[in-house]
Amino acid sequence: MDVFDKDSQPTLMELSELFTQTRQQFLGACLQRLIEQKYSYLLAQEYSPCPKCGKSCKSRRYSSKQMVTMQGNSKLDRPWFYCTDCSLGFCPLDEVLEISRKQHQFDIQKKAVNLSADVTFARASDIFKELSGQHLSDHFMHATFDAVGAQARQEDIIPSTEQIEKKIEQASTGQWRPILVVASDGANLPTRPKAKRNEKRGKGQWQEAKGFRIYVLADERIIHIASWHQIQNEAQFGQDLALAASRVDQESVRIALLGDGAGWLWKHMTACFPKGREVLDYYHCAEHIYKAAKAQYGEKSEKALHWVENTICRLFYAEVSNVIGGLRRMEPKDDIAKEEIRKLIVYLTNNRERIHYKSDRKGGYPIGSGGIESANKFICHTRMKRSGAWWVEETGNEMLRIRCAIYNGTYDKVFERYKQANLSQTTNFC
Ligand SMILES: [Zn+2]
């Protein structure tokens, strides 16, 4: 359609589409012009010091680079220098502009990875095209994601001491020190071994992503501080939790530790937060009670409901010994019931000191880790448990790291490290 034809009456949508189709060419050229103007001194440069030894080198020739940014295609003809002593070629303009070795520049890469953290690579490619008019293959999406994920480190993903301090301050309104909640748990993720091209995929297995979430309670609100999940063993989990703990001023808060009955998480939470008040997750605890009731009295029977209510009520008042005593006196209906009752006794005995919901409530402590459950669902399940998705452990962990970074508000920092490692003009000569 020719909008300039005086008989044409394009709609707003048609006009906007026309802009989308042409703005890449138009703005790409604008960007190129702007660079040429702003950095004319670098484009005309005849001599430049070698970035390694400092020797003055003469420009050999102009070298051309095709670049794609969010604005479209641009071309850069800039002088290229070569230091014979160091056998090193370099373009000073690339360093100033922080140009990527790839054709698609960092602004695009950053957005592409951010989008891929939420939807499949193929879908990310479609959406990107739809919104920006730029075609990025799903291979590009995947490769860039891998590259950024490989540079994503826990030290960057967990907010800094200063950032954490600020959030605690936000929560410090009353006369009491605010409550900092540390909740840990595991979530099973579908994984498969890495297969080479043309090789049959290995058999899949479920592996546990261990993670924690740290947040502060402010009146009715939750102020998120940090989430961290990785497919890893418990020793690594302990190290990771220790790093996060080292960034929290533990004297400025009251600390609540929340978890289900898994031994590994208590071992590390209490080591990292020795003054923390241990709280057995109420919902997990209740689940165990239901399970025993179901085995003994039948599902949803009146007797089962009555017993569950009674038991939970007693646990609420920290009468754990009473409950255990009652369980011991119970006459099991059959072998299944016997086994469930036995398991419940072990569970309650192991977690005896962590059951005191009434006084938790009184002190303003949380009794359920709804906080980590929802973070877990959001971080692990939404992207990781898509039907048919089986993750190679490495890629799965990259995905978890990037998602945590986005959730923690530290993605900029993570991307910055990747960028510095992938500049076209690198000052790292190793
Ligand atoms: Zn040199």
* pLDDT tens digits along 347-356: 999 999 999 9
Question: How far apart are alpha carbons 335 and 296 in whole angstroms?
Answer: 10
Reading the block at residue 239, the tokens are 């190290």
Cα-to-centroid distance, 54 and ligand 1 (Å): 6
Distances (CA, A) of 18 to 26, 33, 73: 12, 23, 17
Cα-to-centroid distance, 62 and ligand 1 (Å): 19
When pLDDT is cut at 50, 70 and 90, the band that residue 379 belongs to is: confident
Cα-to-centroid distance, 89 and ligand 1 (Å): 9
Q: Is the dihedral of CA 165, 166, 169, 171 positive or negative?
A: negative
When pLDDT is cut at 50, 70 and 90, the band that residue 430 belongs to is: very low
pLDDT given at position 428? 44
Q: Closest by alpha carbon to 181, among 270, 277, 251, 274?
A: 277
Question: How far apart are alpha carbons 2 and 336 in whole angstroms?
Answer: 78
Cα-to-centroid distance, 87 and ligand 1 (Å): 7
Tell me whether residue 137 is exposed, middle or buried, using C-beta atoms within 10 angstroms of its C-beta: 0 to 12, 13 to 18, 19 or more: exposed
Contact 278, 301 (CB under 8 A): no
CA–centroid distance for 283 within its chain: 25
* pLDDT tens digits along 235-259: 999 999 999 999 999 999 999 999 9
Which pTM does this prediction carry?
A: 0.88
Looking at the chain, the whole-number percentage of residues with pLDDT higher than 90 is 71
Cα-to-centroid distance, 45 and ligand 1 (Å): 17
